[in-house]
Amino acid sequence: METRRLPVEVITYILSFLPIADRKEASLVNHTWYFAAQDSLRQENVLYNIPATSASLAAIESLARRRVSCISLTSLDSSTVSRDVIQAVSCHLGPHLQSLCLRGSSLTETSFVHLLLACPCLSSLDLSGCNSLFMSGTLLSKPETISQAQRALTNLRELNLAGLRYLSDLSFNRLTGCAPRLARLSLARCHLTFEFDPYRGSSNYNSSALLSFRNLLRFLKERASSLRALDLSGTSITSPAMRSLVQVEGLRLRELVLQNCRDLSNEAIGLLCTHQPHLTALDLTGCSELSDRAALAVSAGLRALQSLCLGKLQRLTDRGLLGIAELRSLQRLDLSECSLVSGSELVKVCSAPELRPNLASLSFAFCSLLRDSSVLSLARSLSPSLRVLDLSSCVSITNVSIQAIASHLPRLTVLRLAWCKELTDWGLLGVEEPGEERNHGRENLEQDPKVLSDSAWNESRKRHRASLQALGQLQELDLMACSKLTDRSITKVIRLPALRRLSLSLLPELTDASLVAVARGCQSLEQLSMSHCGKLTDKGFVEAASSLRRLQHLVISGCSQLTGQTKLCAASLCLPPEHTGLCFTPRPSWGPRPTSDSTKAARGAFTRRCGQCSNKTLEFKQPPALCCCAVPQPTLCQHCLRGVRRGCDAAVTASALNQAPAQGAQRNRAGNPTPPLRKQAVGFSVQVFIAPVLGGGRDLFSALSSPRAGPVLRQSGRLVP
């Protein structure tokens, strides 16, 4: 059967199994595949970031035709443009909007209420950092407004109020009172008062001056049957307050986040594990007072735990991991920055198949005591389940570790080895090292004979040494600052067709050969970082550009030999200038400048007339295409383009899944861009973002290397419980 005869519904179902980048490529086949790809992109886990600019108005209408349900509005304020954007969102997207993020916005109460009332189907609302809404204390103060907000928020399940300096009991009660089905609440970094009791026995918890723990406790008692997730990170919660919280009658939490709660004690965690045994996710990162007793209490009391984060616990040792075998459902374990953890006890637990947890994600980042013997034993034991491994800044591991990972973890999707300076080309290639280095690796393994016996060592030595290329399913690889790596290994083993994110920054020996080899061997790359690789030249980027068709994020800052020709090569991957926002870090006057011959030659390759002033401008190899709002524009020269960009205040672009939002422009009171505060480095410093558009069928290029760049319309990933 020919593909063109397949019904659109069948093609949509087939494309739903592909990653987001592959669906964008599939949309270029024909019109049927285009509409099928657009339909398959209507997912709840796709969040569209829309800046408050006039250029976003047409894009909002385009997104409305796709029935987009998750958006994030950035850079909102009291300006006319922001009001127009809110009006457009309310009119076109509001009726079917399910998730709304207003993080860090400075919108007015009137605009917020107008937007809220236009979204009757909201299930998730993010107001973190929106201090202007709560500064006056009059939010939802009118009775008619409260009744309308109750109808709009009747289905709200998730509310994020993190980082609100002016949140009070009164405004908290008004907002949460309109959401009777709330299941997830975040009060991270809010100024909760735990010791001081302003009410002194009164039951009228409506203070307009402060946010009290007593009022939060009242809320938990009322919503105990429905509340499942709570985030109190960065607050000064004490042990008595924790005792009162976990003993609320009927409260059955599933997720609890307590990052950087420095007043928590081991006794408080013991009470938590006793009264909330149904927890599936617990985050104690940065709770500096906790020690092995807290970890043992977690292992003994939370048998249903699936995610456990114990990062930055400076008092935690290997003894605290003795009971980890009791957590049979554990899938994620984070021990990053636990300087006293070597992994030996975890190795003993994982060595017994009947006790081994099915870990899918394991982090030992910044654990300097971790040795090759532990890595080898963990790789052998966790081979069936492990998918994410973070060994960043584990300075004691050598080539033995990387060869063990390549041999025993072929299903790994994320591998981070940044700042592991003992790794060399021998380890990545899987080639036997010279005698001195081999003996050194043998000594490292023999430091703990209980972890790895001689028979196991001999067996592992007899096995075929696998190179890094054996990790065929790898999607993210971080080799930053592994300074001993050279072209000898990078050109041969970094040939991973599924690789999407790669960091080779701070590798001074890399040349154009590595760049070209990576571009040809990893054509699915979406993010590439090669900053401070001083031997890279324009020639390498010219040769690699034709293979990096899916690139969205390119970082090449600190590469002193690059000139303006690299800028043109990066731009040649994307649309014509009228659909781009180019903003490279300006070259300092004392830095090297490109030769006039090379610049003229590069510009002469792509020239045509401007659509307004008839001056010559750049023309790229790809034909003109439509942007995400489906509005074609004529080719403009740089002078006219700057005028267009100044009018719309920012270039409208879109970015792929799991990208952090770009920072907005820094402007003075007059509305003009302000120069960056940081000093410019000597040489050519550039950070490039290349962003594919869902509906346009081509790639949209934006270089956002300095704070001068405006906000952009992005598409990013959002975790849905």
Say whether 618 sits in a helix, a strand or coil: strand
Assigned token pair, 365: 């980042």
Q: What is the pLDDT of residue 674?
A: 39
Q: Model confidence at 44, in pLDDT bands (50, 70, 90)?
A: low
In this prediction, residue 432 carries a pLDDT of 73
438 versus 591: which is more confidently predicted? 438
At 304, is the pLDDT very low, low, confident or very high (cuts 50, 70, 90)? very high
Strand-strand pairing, 124-126 and 99-101: parallel
* Residues 6+ positions from 248 with CB-CB distance below 8 Å: 217, 220, 221, 224
Is residue 515 a contact partner of residue 491, using CB atoms and an 8 Å limit?
no
pLDDT of residue 136: 87
Cα(202)–Cα(199) distance, integer angstroms: 5
3-class DSSP state of 312: coil
Residue 200, pLDDT > 80, answer: no
Please give, one letter per residue, the 3-state secondary structure of 70-130. Answer: EEEEECCCCCHHHHHHHHHHHHHHHHHCCEEECCCCCCCHHHHHHHHHCCCCCCEEECCCC
Confidence bin at 65 (pLDDT 50/70/90): confident
Q: Quote the distance between the C-alpha of residue 462 and its chain's center.
A: 40
Contact 721, 53 (CB under 8 A): no
β-strands 687-692, 211-212: how paired? unpaired
Whether residue 558 contacts residue 592, with contact meaning beta carbons closer than 8 Å, is answered with no
491: alpha, beta or left? (left if phi > 0; alpha if psi -120 to 50): alpha
pLDDT at 600: 37
CB crowding 99-129: b at 16 or more within 10 Å, else e: bbbbbbbbbbbebbbbbbbbbbebbbbbbbb
DSSP-derived secondary structure for 667-695: B-TTSPBPPPSSPPPSS---EEEEEE-TT
Contact predicate 297/323, CB 8 Å: no
Helix (H, G, I), strand (E, B) or coil at 423: coil
Is the pLDDT assigned to residue 647 strictly greater than 90? Answer: no
Position 162 scores a pLDDT of 96
Tell me if 324 sits within 8 A of 346, measured CB to CB. Answer: yes
Higher pLDDT among residues 569 and 222, named by residue: 222
For range 60-67, the mean pLDDT = 83
157 pLDDT more than 50: yes
Write down the mean pLDDT value for the chain.
Answer: 77
